[in-house]
Structure 1
């Protein structure tokens, strides 16, 4: 393999890893505060692509107006899922909340199928993202370079929010102890809702870029990326934002390099994520950057 070909695979791996990282952050934020997995997160990612498709293709609104609107609508959708599927069961056993999360996932998938049909649709990709850059003898789409940059900006903004603002302080307090945070004057319900909203917004950013990179959307398109991003969050250390990013890059680069160096295993590309998950759980159950957290009685 020449250096040019390796560079192309590496950039593709970093690009895919950036997308996994963005979506995985949503999983890890919700887990960090509620100690549960939002299994509807992959379907919220899917809904963002449909919002973008109908905004541009059906209503004819320019993409630079539609894409910011998609972020807002997807954040509101995430907050709505939290208010209807999670908040009423906050004091219920964990298994009840888990079942509710799975039910919300199935609801979004089937509702999308009924309303929009199961036939895949082409996602609109503006020309500014489809231009190609020549690096040596390799042609690389500009979008491949934009994705890590956007991911870095989103991560920097999120870390600033969590570490430097009162809202972030409230999130950190709620992640430690709901009751103590409430006694200290934190609006726990609003903080949790905001966490879902931010996680869903990041999923929307990932969904828009995913749609442009793989320009075909379908009601079940969020299932496998959702599972992989959950795995990325576990690999990095569920509940740790930095860990989610690290896990996303490990998974994305690992997948691309597996196909590049062992093309005969291309059909097992999805299995790579699950094998890696098993290995991590066997040898480091808390993940690469995770910490052991005692269960609350």
Structure 2
């Protein structure tokens, strides 16, 4: 059974189409939902939670129709909102216990689960402090904890790294990965930072202007391009010099930024040619590696060529 499934899902406002006939199926594991601001990510989450009605089309979450079973869906799903919505004068422990009870847990079970999830997200020591004194990273962890406290089958994480510094972002991404792979909870995580989703997602759904651009396993986005990235050093024009030598040798080569050159692999001798020419020119070979597609490459190509559902 699909965790999330939509068919022709559309949401329109007087001057904006937020979702445009969206057909997508999302299964277990960690799924990244990516798109620029305004692509329809948050609107989709609100519809999936039964908080906003669709204009047309249908959607199911864990087998339940979002149009008629919003309450049941919200009992089975954890939601981490994008924006800061935490009361400053309440401790993380009290807040998560309260929200656990609102999700149907008895008080004793809510306290026990709260202790567990706050420890899992790294707030065991600070759980009794008022949230108003927390850093942005700590507040994000509180929001994640309350999404997990009732042991949901699915969690919807809306921009969980929003406002975090690089170290805190890495910690949050590690938590997202653990939720999906160690806790066995299905995860739908949104982000406009494409590189983040490459790191944590098993599957990626790309939206553009409310339409499906592509939905694929992450590994399908990151396949080899059939070219090499070559970096050389030794003189200011090292990349240009080697690039011209490769072209003269009959290889397709082009600049890839700075001292980087992208070289199409012609046959099994291509690496030997690159190495030998580098030595002949008296340059230093820093690296020579297969170039792989990135999610942003697919997104850029799709936008440039028009949005084409795949």
The two structures share one fold, judged by TM-score above 0.5: no
| Structure with higher RCO (Cα < 8 A, 6+ apart) | 1
User: Considering only CA atoms, is the larger Rg found in Structure 1 or Structure 2?
Assistant: 2
Using the size of structure 2 for normalisation, the TM-score is 0.24
**Greater strand proportion:** 2
- Point out the structure with the larger helix share: 1
- Report the TM-score, using the length of structure 1 for normalisation: 0.25
